């Protein structure tokens, strides 16, 4: 690879001059600028980001930490982040944390070792030392933290909507899946649904789901119907769980949505591809990713942001696991 020195030699100028033209900083005569540009072209030179990063103590790299890209909710987020970052010519160092504190710390550490200028993370513990001590800006994505910048959906409202809709459509014996206790957004949804159900005075029951994996979802679905065979409405903890419930219901011969309604959460692409298609609460995942990236960029470039906590709206998507009502 050609270095700035090569370019300087080739153009018959000093490295300082070359640096000036590539960074468009300070004075440089039009003629010499052209000579330099020509040399750059001929040598196919492009600056070494590593050297730059070392000198400036900052790179064009940002760290992105997601629980598991294999979970269909996260690719959308990731893509939103990437698209926005790429527009401002930042690049992503990417890692899966598996919600494992240790792996998370590990990644954060190598992020800083590589001079990343910011990080976006979906962690379960935004208040962990790992983040509090960081000297570079962090934005939490799909997670909430009071004192730190974050972008998240209005989970509580989502839970409320789910409960309202399922009630409005006639379910009278609702089962709510609580979702993993350590995942904040899951608990928000749960609380929101609870709130409405309590108010309404209709009977309901709660079941736990401990993780968001496919296998776990299947197990939880079976348990649900064993414990509460008479339930006529399920507010699932997310779409994966909802699909598992749906399949178990079909297997048991329950009529969906006539005997049993199901509402999911997230609106992952899968939701409109299952049969019957899944009614769910839509989270604007791609936009959330973009917003998080935008927020981080704002903070990185201005030192602060106008709005540090961005809550995104959710909405009910009526499909075929709930009854029609117009």
Residues that bind its own copies (CB under 8 A): 1, 46-51, 53-54, 59-61, 64, 68-70, 72, 74-76, 78-79, 82-83, 86, 91-96, 109-110, 112-115, 135, 214, 243, 246-247, 250, 269-270, 273-276
Give the other-Cβ count within 10 Å of 33's Cβ.
16
In the bound state with DNA, the residue whose beta carbon lies nearer, of 31 and 226, is 31
Which residues touch 61 (CB under 8 Å, ≥6 apart)?
A: 53, 90, 91, 92, 93, 114, 115, 116, 117
Q: If binding is defined by CB under 7 A, does position 13 make contact with DNA?
A: yes
Report what 25 binds from DNA, its own copies, none; CB cut-off 5-8 Å by kind: DNA
Give the other-Cβ count within 10 Å of 186's Cβ.
22
Report residue 20 as tokens.
């000036």
Q: If binding is defined by CB under 7 A, does position 15 make contact with DNA?
A: yes
Q: If binding is defined by CB under 7 A, does position 89 make contact with DNA?
A: no
Report what 19 binds from its own copies, DNA, none; CB cut-off 5-8 Å by kind: DNA
Report what 205 binds from its own copies, DNA, none; CB cut-off 5-8 Å by kind: none
Contacts to DNA from residues 18-57, by CB under 7 A: 19-20, 22-23, 25-29, 31-33, 45, 47-48, 51-52, 54-57
Cα separation, 176 vs 237, in Å, equals 8
Burial 110-141 (b: 16+ CB within 10 A, else e): ebeeebbbbbbbbbbebeeebbeebebbbbbb
Q: Of the candidates 152, 122, 159, which has an alpha carbon nearest to the alpha carbon of residue 311?
A: 152
We find the least distance from the C-beta atom of residue 113 to DNA, in angstroms, to be 8
Half-sphere exposure of 122 (CA within 13 A, CB side): 29
Q: If binding is defined by CB under 7 A, does position 302 make contact with DNA?
A: no
We find the least distance from the C-beta atom of residue 9 to its own copies, in angstroms, to be 20
Cα separation, 91 vs 222, in Å, equals 43
SS3 61: strand
Report what 132 binds from its own copies, DNA, none; CB cut-off 5-8 Å by kind: none
In the bound state with its own copies, the residue whose beta carbon lies nearer, of 246 and 305, is 246
In the bound state with DNA, the residue whose beta carbon lies nearer, of 49 and 100, is 49
Report what 27 binds from its own copies, DNA, none; CB cut-off 5-8 Å by kind: DNA
We find the least distance from the C-beta atom of residue 91 to DNA, in angstroms, to be 16
Helices (H), the chain: 4-11, 15-23, 30-43, 49-56, 74-87, 101-113, 129-132, 155-168, 184-200, 214-227, 239-251, 285-302
We find the least distance from the C-beta atom of residue 274 to its own copies, in angstroms, to be 6
Contacts to DNA from residues 184-243, by CB under 7 A: none
We find the least distance from the C-beta atom of residue 266 to its own copies, in angstroms, to be 14
DSSP 269: G
Judge contact between 128 and 109, C-beta under 8 A.
Answer: no
In the bound state with DNA, the residue whose beta carbon lies nearer, of 91 and 169, is 91
Residues at the site binding DNA, with contacts judged by CB under 7 A = 1, 3-5, 12-17, 19-20, 22-23, 25-29, 31-33, 45, 47-48, 51-52, 54-57
């Amino acid at each position: 690879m050609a270095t700035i020195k090569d370019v300087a030699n080739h153009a018959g100028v000093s490295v300082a001059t070359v640096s000036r033209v590539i960074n468009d900083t300070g004075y440089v005569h039009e003629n010499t600028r052209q000579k330099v540009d020509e040399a750059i072209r001929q040598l196919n030179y492009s600056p070494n980001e590593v050297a730059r990063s070392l000198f400036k103590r900052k790179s064009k790299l940002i760290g992105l930490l997601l629980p598991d890209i294999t979970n269909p909710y996260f690719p959308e987020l990731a893509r939103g982040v990437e698209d926005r970052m790429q527009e401002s010519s930042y690049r992503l160092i990417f890692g899966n944390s598996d919600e494992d504190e240790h792996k998370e710390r590990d990644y954060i550490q190598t992020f800083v070792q590589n001079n990343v200028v910011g990080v976006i993370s979906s962690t379960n513990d935004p208040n962990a030392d790992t983040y509090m001590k960081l000297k570079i800006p962090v934005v939490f994505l799909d997670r909430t933290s009071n004192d730190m910048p974050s972008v998240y959906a209005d989970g509580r409202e989502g839970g409320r909507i789910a409960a309202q809709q399922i009630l409005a459509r006639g379910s009278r014996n609702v089962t709510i899946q609580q979702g993993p206790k350590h995942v904040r957004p899951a608990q928000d949804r749960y609380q929101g649904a609870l709130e409405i159900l309590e108010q309404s005075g209709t009977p309901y029951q709660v079941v736990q789901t401990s993780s968001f994996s496919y296998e776990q979802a299947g197990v939880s679905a079976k348990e649900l119907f064993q414990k509460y065979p008479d339930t006529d409405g399920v507010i699932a903890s997310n779409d994966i769980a909802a699909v598992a419930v749906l399949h178990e219901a079909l297997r048991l011969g329950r009529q969906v949505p006539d005997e049993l309604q199901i509402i999911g959460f997230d609106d992952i692409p899968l939701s409109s591809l299952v049969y019957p298609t899944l009614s769910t609460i839509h989270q604007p995942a791609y936009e959330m990713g973009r917003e998080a990236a935008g927020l981080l960029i704002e903070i990185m470039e201005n030192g602060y942001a106008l709005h540090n906590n961005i809550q995104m709206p959710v909405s009910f998507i009526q499909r075929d696991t709930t009854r029609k009502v117009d």
